[in-house]
Amino acid sequence: MKRHTILTLILCAMASAAMAQSFTVFENGKSHGFNDKDVDSIVFSAKQAPAATTEPRKINGRWCSLGTSISWLNDQTASYPITKGYQTRVLEKLAFTNFNNKAVNGGMIASAVSAVIYADYYTIEHGINDWGHSTPVGTIQDYINNTKNGTFAANYRQVIDRIFTRNPKARVILCTPRKAYGFNGYLPDHWYDAKNGIYLQEYADMVRAIAAYESFPVADFFAEAGGQRQLDNWSYDTALHPNDEGMQIMANILIQAFEKILGE
């Protein structure tokens, strides 16, 4: 008597089973050979893939976000043409125990010193307003030697010192400034132009240098969150503050940076 064979399988190509003398089926990495005269019928079925989870990953820790108006906007969406900021978008994927947005509208890196509160994780998004106000960039030696000379590098040291005074075990992510231009003459016409002899890239390079010195991960908004060609489309003004698309791009970059320290 012919066998009635039921297979749950991943099918390997079968050209015209009715005319075939024999055929082979691959199931779970194993092959099975059959002669058509020994098989009465074949029933195909497939196991349904489990539904993708939409639950955020729970993070046991408090996150403090320091930054400029780009970060401050996260709590001001009712008054501006965005639905949610980049931090809220991060929290949809990484559910920290607590989140505090301590960004300052119009703030420079010096304004972040007094904004530091106790947390387990800190992100620092600064540089664009220091460029707008032509804060001298300084050198990595200003940071290392804690010169307190008012440069971007020296002021950054004050912020980092305050963080580790609050929590010696803090984990810190540094964010390079997002490229920007215009904004009613506040910035040059192109992100790559100088303002009072200083280039935005100098601030981004300093952030990277500090991160390298301290072994901090970097969320590189400067390199990855849009250039001159995209900024107008990814901003709701010309071209400083991100729109929803721009915020999502920033969130994606920051999530990748967080993943580098959350797995440790």
Tens-digit pLDDT profile for residues 202-244: 999 999 999 999 999 999 999 999 999 999 999 999 999 999 9
Q: Residue 58 is inside which H or E element, if any?
A: strand 57-67
Q: Is the pLDDT of residue 154 over 60?
A: yes
Average pLDDT, whole number, for the chain? 88
**Closest listed residue to residue 264, CA positions, set 137, 169, 128:** 169
Give the span between the Cα atoms of 94 and 240, in whole angstroms.
26
Q: Both 40 and 98 in a single domain?
A: no
Are residues 41 and 143 both part of a single domain? no
Q: Say yes or no: 91 and 26 in one domain.
A: no
Say whether both 140 and 211 belong to one domain. yes
- Asked if 248 and 226 sit in the same domain, the reply is yes
Does one domain contain both 91 and 174? yes
Instruction: Tell whether 144 and 229 lie within a shared domain.
Output: yes
When pLDDT is cut at 50, 70 and 90, the band that residue 19 belongs to is very low
Q: What is the CATH number of the domain that holds 189?
A: 3.40.50.1110
In a domain, 242, yes or no: yes
pLDDT category of residue 2 using cuts at 50, 70 and 90? very low
- Segment 152-174 shows an average pLDDT of 98
Stated as kind and residue range, the H or E segment containing 157 is helix 152-166
Does the model's pTM come out above 0.95?
no
Which pLDDT belongs to residue 263? 74
107 and 130 both lie in a single domain: yes
Grade residue 30 by pLDDT with cuts at 50, 70 and 90.
low
| pLDDT at residue 257 is higher than 60 | yes
Say which range, 39-43, 79-83, 105-109, 246-250, has the weakest mean pLDDT.
39-43
Residues 32 and 96 in one domain: no
Residue 74 lies in a domain: yes
Indicate if 102 and 178 belong to the same structural domain: yes
Higher pLDDT: 14 or 89? It is 89
Q: Give percent of the chain with pLDDT exceeding 70.
A: 80
Domain that holds residue 14: 3-45
